[in-house]
Amino acid sequence: MPDKLPYYITTAISYPNGKPHIGHAYELIATDAMARFQRLDGRDVFFLTGTDEHGQKMQQTARAEGIDPSELAERNSNEFREMGRLLNASNDDFIRTTEPRHHEACREIWNRMADNGDIYKDSYAGWYSVRDEAFYQEGETEVRDDGVRYGPQGTPVEWVEEESYFFKLSAYEEKLLKHYSDKPDFIGPAERRNEVISFVKSGLKDLSISRTTFDWGIKVPNDPAHVMYVWVDALTNYVTATGYLTDKNGPRAKYWPADAHIIGKDIIRFHAVYWPAFLMSAGLPLPKRVFAHGFLLNKGEKMSKSLGNVVDPVNLVNHFGLDQVRYFFLREVSFGQDGSYSEEAIGTRINADLANGIGNLASRSLSMIVKNCDGKIPEPGEFSEEDRAILASADSLLETCREEMEKQLIHRAVAAVIGLVSETDRYFAGQAPWALKKTDPERMATVLYVTAEIVRQIAILLQPYMPDASAKLLDLVAAPADKRDFSSLGEAGRLVPGTVLDAPTPVFPRYVAPETGA
Ligand code: ME8
């Protein structure tokens, strides 16, 4: 058997200056779905997430709390790890930028960029946003009515003047533009690609990549008065975790370059401009794709601590159930666009697509089998045209899902699977097996076989998005443990007549809103 093809996917690493919020949960759930999809599709997946623990923002938050930045990082990093467990994230590693392996990798990438002649010392004077950990050109900032100057992301900026190392970003303008044009899939979605290209075309200035006015960071090699700019440190995490920089023959080196970095749209510039330039400078291969998802809005409003609508993912999961929440975000939000959510919208989705949809289809068809076919998967008779048509729809669904997932259009992959549920509902209603029970029991058995077989395929295809609920559905059709990946879709894994089924238990209860009792 040939070796499985490696597939490396990452989330951004989050700032542990506070607890994780729903935006962090969203990114992790989406990336987890992509990682699970590739694993089920036979790839050797390495999925990485973690925390970005250095920088001025961390130092300032820690000071305000009267604790050491390392204590703040430790406490909140654990919260992020815990959130991963709660969300059933299947990450293979969790990186913390305070780990020695990461310090080593950062020194290595710095030295390589320096050896390439891309780092020089000068002094920096300009605007800096601590909240974004980003330098901005004066033209990107504006003074608002409150007299405060803000950057393009709406966060306050402050004037910074200090000695600093610079990276010759300006030398990479043409190389980056060539890369975007040679590799049109490097940045997604199209809006972000256009945004990045026009940013680069407007001219790149050299980038300040060290700070001297605080010390919570990774020391610059041979100049300990400087710590590396937190984004040099942060972006390098993706290579650190593979060991590629420090041990090219190590067990995980094969995963570099990454297949996909999944990040939010606010940090596209760092990932699609700075990061490839650093890598080119260090002589390292570039990631294949950077995909920026949109922002989650609470009932259409931007989440903010002052509005009090920064929803705690733990509460949401406790209230609606994990797979219900996963499903909602993955199906409801067009991946790559902003998305709004509300309790009403989550409840509506749960009832329409899950309880009345796949849940109902599975329980109706399987309970008929248990009652009318001796509790065993029935032997089908000859397939009618309708049977063949619906089986063909199911058998070809993987191809559709692959095409969508390749472009990170998660919502469209999920919609395609749910579309098959509706098609099967119509098939089931049209064939009316309950009526056939008296008139043509053999035909009833065939219809039930076909329906159960489709439930099996739907359950296999839903695993990336709702791992636990799909496993329950697969238990209901008694799919063997080794026949649950995508190679068992279609003819390869057809239900075996005679297999004993237990009476189905509900997988998706209806959601009843507590306030209204509706
Ligand atoms: O940016 N909706 O960390 P972070 C959707 N440490 N996504 C959101 C969101 C929202 N409301 N709010 C944040 C950082 N995110 C850096 C990354 S990577 C080398 C370093 C996303 O904790 C955000 O876009 O501010 C980012 O992808 C991730 O959450 C972490 O954000």
The full DSSP string for 213-255 is S---SPEETTEEEEEE-HHHHHHHHHHHTTTTTT-TTSTTGGG
Do 277 and 118 meet the contact criterion of CB atoms below 8 Å apart? no
Nearest CA to ligand 1 atom 9: 23
**pLDDT value at 518 more than 70:** no
In what helix (H) or strand (E) does residue 91 lie, and over which residues does it extend?
none
**pLDDT value at 88 more than 70:** yes
Nearest CA to ligand 1 atom 12: 23
How far apart CA 30 and CA 19 sit, in angstroms, is 19
Which one of 266, 290, 307, 337 would you pick to mutate in the ligand 1 pocket, going by the greatest count of ligand atoms within 8 A of its CB? 266
pLDDT digits (tens, 9 = 90+) for 354-390: 999 999 999 999 999 999 999 999 999 999 999 999 9
**pLDDT value at 64 more than 70:** yes
Closest approach atom of ligand 1 to CA 17: 22
What single DSSP character describes residue 95? Answer: E
CA of 221 to the centre of ligand 1 (A): 29
- pLDDT at res. 307: 56
**pLDDT value at 2 more than 90:** no
Sign of CA dihedral 96, 153, 58, 23: negative
Residue limits of CATH 1.10.730.10 in the chain: 343-500
Q: What is the mean pLDDT of residues 170-199?
A: 98
Which one of 27, 83, 311 would you pick to mutate in the ligand 1 pocket, going by the greatest count of ligand atoms within 8 A of its CB? 27
Q: Is the peptide bond before 509 cis (omega within 30 degrees of 0)?
A: no
Nearest CA to ligand 1 atom 24: 264
- pLDDT at res. 176: 98
DSSP string, 418-453: HHHHHHHHHHHHHH-HHHHHHH-HHHHHHHHHHHHH
**pLDDT value at 193 more than 90:** yes
**pLDDT value at 14 more than 80:** yes
**pLDDT value at 517 more than 80:** no
Q: Place 17 in a pLDDT band, splitting at 50, 70 and 90.
A: very high
State how far Cα 169 lies from the chain centre: 29
CA of 232 to the centre of ligand 1 (A): 16
Residue burial 436-467, b: 16+ Cβ < 10 Å; e: rest: bbeeeeebbbbbbbbbbbbbbbbbbbbbbbbb
Q: What is the pTM of this model?
A: 0.96
What helix, strand, coil percent values describe the chain, rounded to 5? 50, 15, 35
Report domain 343-500's class: mainly alpha
Nearest CA to ligand 1 atom 18: 12
- pLDDT at res. 312: 87
Nearest CA to ligand 1 atom 3: 14
SS3 65: helix
CA of 93 to the centre of ligand 1 (A): 18
Nearest CA to ligand 1 atom 30: 14
Task: Region of 55 please: left (phi>0), alpha (psi -120 to 50) or beta.
Answer: left
Nearest CA to ligand 1 atom 21: 264
Closest approach atom of ligand 1 to CA 52: 6
**pLDDT value at 304 more than 80:** no
pLDDT digits (tens, 9 = 90+) for 102-157: 999 999 999 999 999 999 999 999 999 999 999 999 999 999 999 999 999 999 99
CA of 340 to the centre of ligand 1 (A): 17
Half-sphere exposure for 458 (CA within 13 Å, toward CB): 32
CA of 227 to the centre of ligand 1 (A): 23
Closest approach atom of ligand 1 to CA 237: 19
Q: Place 173 in a pLDDT band, splitting at 50, 70 and 90.
A: very high
How far apart CA 391 and CA 423 sit, in angstroms, is 11
Q: What is the mean pLDDT of residues 228-235?
A: 97
Question: What integer best gives the mean pLDDT of the chain?
Answer: 96
CA of 56 to the centre of ligand 1 (A): 16
Q: Place 310 in a pLDDT band, splitting at 50, 70 and 90.
A: low
Do 488 and 453 meet the contact criterion of CB atoms below 8 Å apart? no
How far apart CA 202 and CA 204 sit, in angstroms, is 7
Do 106 and 218 meet the contact criterion of CB atoms below 8 Å apart? yes
Which one of 9, 236, 263, 329 would you pick to mutate in the ligand 1 pocket, going by the greatest count of ligand atoms within 8 A of its CB? 263
CA of 359 to the centre of ligand 1 (A): 34
What single DSSP character describes residue 131? Answer: T
State how far Cα 298 lies from the chain centre: 19
State how far Cα 90 lies from the chain centre: 11
Query: Max CA-CA distance within the chain?
Result: 89
How far apart CA 329 and CA 311 sit, in angstroms, is 14
- pLDDT at res. 303: 66
CA of 87 to the centre of ligand 1 (A): 17
Backbone φ and ψ of 337, nearest 5°: -110, 165
Q: What is the mean pLDDT of residues 163-187?
A: 98
CA of 12 to the centre of ligand 1 (A): 6
Quote the strand ranges of 107-156, DSSP E. 119-129, 134-136, 142-143, 149-150
How far apart CA 253 and CA 12 sit, in angstroms, is 20
How far apart CA 515 and CA 518 sit, in angstroms, is 8
Q: For the chain, give the percent of residues with pLDDT over 90.
A: 94
Q: What is the mean pLDDT of residues 411-439?
A: 98
- pLDDT at res. 392: 98
How far apart CA 257 and CA 253 sit, in angstroms, is 9
* Residues with a CB atom less than 6 Å from ligand 1: 12-15, 23-24, 26-27, 52, 234-235, 237, 263-264, 266-267, 295-296, 303
Task: Spell out the SS3 assignment of 270-300.
Answer: HHHHHHHHHHHHHCCCCCCCEEEECCEEECC
CA of 24 to the centre of ligand 1 (A): 6
pLDDT digits (tens, 9 = 90+) for 447-466: 999 999 999 999 999 999 99
Nearest CA to ligand 1 atom 10: 23
Homologous superfamily, domain 6-293: HUPs (3.40.50.620)
**pLDDT value at 301 more than 90:** no
Nearest CA to ligand 1 atom 22: 14
- pLDDT at res. 107: 98
Query: At residue 326, what is the residue type?
Result: R
Residue limits of CATH 3.40.50.620 in the chain: 6-293
- pLDDT at res. 51: 98
